[in-house]
Structures are given as structure tokens and as C-alpha cells.
């Protein structure tokens, strides 16, 4: 809530995290499945537990885990094993049963949880050990239809994705101009990084959008208007798949038909603050407005590391990092509205057009990226027919050095590693 500022008065205060309510809460709160792939050694019975819960405290607060409102916990298997997947499921119905007891439920509807807490807890004094190999948190997604047609970046418009603006400066800062003064002095300079369609490693289909975000860059692309024609204010849910490399910050933002920013969850409240390196994962944003929305524009935004440091802060070579974010499958929903509601407002859901899939990298691990030998590994996904593939890497440093090429590997309709 930008009208309610709190904390850090020197910076003007941060927008307060404010919960939203819904009369159709199960359209926004959905069943969760938290899974963990683990390796265990001599684990005693009931020594380790896996849990997932909803919380009414924002995820940047230390008290989040202590403010759970619905929790499911299960024990991990005892014994020794190298690779075992354990799942715990938390149903939305179990949360709603608790939410309906709130005093404001009859007048405002249910208060939507602000965070999900996933925990793996090893009992105090217990022997053995557990190694966490991989975790995931998934939900089925909204039942309502997608309302945005250009979120897959498949439609080309002379070398650039149709329906999106060219990159521009991302000016929004929650604490006003404090950070502009303190760090981002090159906010008055042009962005240096490129934004372009990428065919090498899409999440789905043949294309995704790649943003290169050097130190000091603040970049965003803006969608064409997405018609909603609301008669009364409704929550808007936006989801996107992202892949990141050394990324400092990102933001999934939106503005109304008048160019006014919609209330949403700021990156300063998200955890982790630095997105760093991650394979494809889904992010989600819920926007609210006090007035009906005729249309919205989406903004895909990213920031690089600090472009300037004051003399008193000393040298910070770690700030010299190029961040990258790939975007794909961006979708817009009005989860509280039925297909009939949308049709009455002349809002047409988007029918997904099948896109043929080309061979691409489903995963690219650049290794430690340190001095000395560096091992790069790729996962190649080939829809067929069987073919030989290899990786080629070229240094973009202005020299004419020969590219590094891996040995070819035969890949069929399965994933295989192709090491360099």
C-alpha cells in the first residue's frame, strides 16, 4: 500500500504490506504440494519432518513461520537411502475452514494468506544426517482462462516479440528517490544491456525473452493494453516463468489504463532479495485496485547491481556482475470471475495455439565460473528425430578467437547431458 509508509524514515518509508480479502477465496488459494528429494544416512524414526503452511505475515518478516494458519507435517522415512522423494500436501479447503472463523469473513470475505512456509526440521539431539538434493512447491493454477495472448513470445514482429514495447528505463522505486541518490547514479544514463528473443533455452515452445542486465541498468518492457472492462474492482493474477543468472532484482508490475501503477507485492518484500541463479521457476503476482479496471499493461522489469558507490563505501568489485533473466509463458487471470462474467464484459479468453517444439537447452549449467578449468554442462531436449548435437561457445570480447566446441552426442526423444 503506497499510501501507508512504514520503516526507515531516512528513505521516506517503505509501502506497507497490506492483506487483501476475497469473497471467492478458493479461486486464489489453491492446493499446495511441497516435495523434497533427499538422501539420508542412519536417520532414526521420526527424527526429521517435512511441513508446508500458509502464513498471514509477509515473507520478509522473521515471524513468518511462527504465524502459520494452516499446516501439514509428515515425518521423513527412517534409515539410509541415496535418493528418495517425499511429498506433503496442504489443501485449500483446510485453510478456508480456519479463515471462515475470522470476524471480518462475513463482510469482507477471507483474508488471502501472504506467504507459504516450507520447512525441513531435524529433531534436536537426533543422530544421522540428511542431504537435501532438490525441492519444489507446486499448485494447479487458476481455473479461470488466460486473458493475455502475447505472453509466450512466439509471435515475431520483425525480430522482436509482438505486443511488447522496446526496452526502457524502469523508474519505480518504493522508497522514493533515496536509492537514486545513494546508489543508482547512472539512472540518468542509457541502459547498456540488450533485450531480445531467445531460441536457445525457452521454457516452452520455440522462444522466450532474454534480458541482459549489466551493473546499473534498470530495464523493463511493457505490454500492449489487456482489456478487462471491469464493472467493479476485481483482483488480477499474473504469472510468469523465469530463469535467472547472477540477477540482482526483478519485478512483475502492472499499470491501469491511465498509466497508474497497481498495488502489488514489491521486490523489496520478496525473499531472496537477490534472485541469483535459478533454473526455470514460476513467479506469481496479485494486483488490486480500488476502482474498476478498463485495461492493464504488464511490465517485466529487472535491475542490475549498484552502478555507483559513494566514496565511504570502498571498492566493491562484486558489484561488477552481468545479470540475466529469461521470461516465458506470461499469463493474466481474473480468478474471481467466471467465463460468463468475462463474456458479459466482452473480454475474450485466449485459446492456446499449439506450437511445434524445436530442439533446445532445457538446462544450462555454467559451472563455478572461477579461474582454472570450468565445466559447462547442458541438457538438450530433442522432440525428434534422433540427431547429433554439440555445444559451441564463442567469447564476445571483440577478438577472433576460435569457438570452443564439444564432442557431438546423439540425442533422441529424451534428455541427455552434453558436456564441454
Same domain, 58 and 197: no
Same domain, 413 and 279: no
The cell for 71 is: 499446516
In a domain, 215, yes or no: yes
Same domain, 103 and 34: yes
Q: Determine contact, residues 152/355, Cβ cutoff 8 Å.
A: yes
In a domain, 233, yes or no: yes
In a domain, 350, yes or no: no
SS (H, E, C) the chain: CCCCEECCHHHCCEECCCCCEECCHHHCCCCEEEEEEEEEEEECCCCEEEEEEEECCCCCCCCCHHHEEEEEEEECCCEEEEEEEEEEEECHHHHHHHHCCCCCHHHHCEECCCEEEEEEEECCCCCCEEEEEEEEEECCCCCCCCCCCCCCCCCECCCCECCECCCEECCCCCCCCHHHHHCCHHHHCCCCCCEEEECCCCCCCCCEEEEEECCCCEEEEEECCEECCCCCCCCEEEEEEEEEEEECEEEEEEEECCCCECECCCHHHCCCCCCEEEEEEEEEEEEECCCCCCEEEEEEEEECCCCCCCHHHCCCHHHCCCEEEEEEEEEEECCCCCHHHHHHCCCCCCCCCCCCCCCEEEEEECCCCCCCCCCCEEEEECCCCCEEECCEECCCCCCCCCCEECCCEEECCCEEEEEC
Same domain, 223 and 370: no
The per-residue pLDDT for 419 is 45
In a domain, 267, yes or no: yes
Residue % of the chain over a pLDDT of 70: 87
Question: Which residue, of 138, 153, 186, is where some domain finishes?
Answer: 138
Question: Which residue, of 116, 138, 160, is where some domain finishes?
Answer: 138
Question: Which residue, of 289, 314, 344, is where some domain finishes?
Answer: 344
Same domain, 181 and 315: yes
Q: State the pTM of this model.
A: 0.89
The per-residue pLDDT for 272 is 43
Same domain, 408 and 334: no
In a domain, 351, yes or no: no
The per-residue pLDDT for 157 is 73
In a domain, 149, yes or no: no
Domain of residue 399 covers 360-419
Same domain, 315 and 383: no
Number of separate domains in the chain: 3
CATH of the domain at 175: 2.60.120.260
In a domain, 119, yes or no: yes
Same domain, 55 and 86: yes
Same domain, 175 and 299: yes
The per-residue pLDDT for 183 is 52
The per-residue pLDDT for 332 is 98
Same domain, 181 and 304: yes
Mean pLDDT by 10-residue block, N- to C-terminus, for the chain (420 residues)?
A: 75 78 94 96 94 80 68 94 95 94 92 90 92 93 94 86 93 65 62 92 91 91 97 96 90 95 75 68 92 97 76 68 93 95 94 79 82 86 87 82 88 57
Same domain, 81 and 172: no
In a domain, 316, yes or no: yes
Amino acid at each position: 500500500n503506497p499510501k501507508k509508509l512504514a520503516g526507515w524514515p531516512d528513505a521516506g518509508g517503505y509501502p506497507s504490506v497490506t492483506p487483501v480479502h476475497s469473497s471467492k477465496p478458493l479461486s486464489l488459494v489453491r492446493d499446495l504440494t511441497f516435495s523434497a528429494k533427499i538422501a539420508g544416512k542412519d536417520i532414526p524414526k521420526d527424527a526429521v519432518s517435512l511441513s508446508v503452511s500458509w502464513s498471514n505475515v509477509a515473507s520478509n518478516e522473521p515471524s513468518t513461520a511462527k504465524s502459520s494458519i494452516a499446516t501439514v507435517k509428515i515425518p521423513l522415512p527412517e534409515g539410509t537411502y541415496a535418493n528418495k522423494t517425499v511429498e506433503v500436501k496442504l489443501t485449500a479447503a483446510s485453510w478456508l475452514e480456519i479463515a471462515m472463523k475470522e470476524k471480518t469473513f462475513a463482510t469482507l470475505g477471507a483474508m488471502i494468506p501472504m506467504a507459504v512456509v516450507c520447512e525441513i526440521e531435524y529433531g534436536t539431539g537426533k543422530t544421522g544426517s540428511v542431504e537435501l538434493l532438490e525441492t519444489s512447491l507446486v499448485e494447479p493454477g487458476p481455473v479461470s482462462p488466460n486473458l493475455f495472448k502475447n505472453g509466450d513470445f512466439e509471435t515475431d514482429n520483425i525480430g522482436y516479440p509482438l505486443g511488447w514495447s522496446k526496452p526502457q528505463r524502469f523508474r519505480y522505486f518504493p522508497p522514493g528517490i533515496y536509492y537514486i541518490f545513494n546508489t543508482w547514479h547512472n539512472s540518468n544514463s542509457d541502459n547498456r544491456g540488450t533485450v531480445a528473443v531467445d531460441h536457445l533455452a525457452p521454457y516452452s515452445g520455440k522462444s522466450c525473452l532474454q534480458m541482459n542486465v549489466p551493473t546499473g541498468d534498470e530495464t523493463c518492457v511493457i505490454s500492449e493494453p489487456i482489456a478487462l472492462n471491469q464493472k467493479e474492482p476485481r483482483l488480477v493474477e499474473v504469472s510468469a516463468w523465469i530463469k535467472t543468472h547472477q540477477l540482482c532484482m526483478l519485478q512483475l508490475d502492472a499499470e491501469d489504463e491511465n498509466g497508474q501503477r497497481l498495488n502489488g507485492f514489491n521486490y523489496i518484500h520478496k525473499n531472496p532479495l537477490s534472485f541469483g541463479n535459478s533454473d526455470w521457476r514460476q513467479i506469481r503476482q496479485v494486483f488490486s485496485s480500488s476502482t474498476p479496471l478498463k485495461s492493464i499493461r504488464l511490465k517485466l522489469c529487472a535491475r542490475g547491481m549498484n552502478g555507483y558507490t559513494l566514496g565511504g563505501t570502498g571498492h566493491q568489485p562484486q558489484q561488477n556482475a552481468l545479470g540475466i533473466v529469461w521470461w516465458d509463458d506470461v499469463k493474466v487471470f481474473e480468478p474471481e470471475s467466471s467465463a460468463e462474467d468475462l463474456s458479459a464484459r466482452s473480454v475474450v479468453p485466449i485459446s492456446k495455439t499449439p506450437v511445434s517444439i524445436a530442439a533446445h537447452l532445457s538446462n544450462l549449467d555454467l559451472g563455478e565460473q572461477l579461474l582454472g578449468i570450468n565445466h559447462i554442462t547442458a541438457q538438450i531436449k530433442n522432440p525428434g528425430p534422433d540427431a547429433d548435437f554439440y555445444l559451441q561457445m564463442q567469447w564476445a570480447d571483440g577478438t577472433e578467437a576460435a569457438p570452443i566446441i564439444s564432442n557431438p552426442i546423439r540425442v533422441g526423444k529424451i534428455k541427455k547431458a552434453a558436456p564441454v
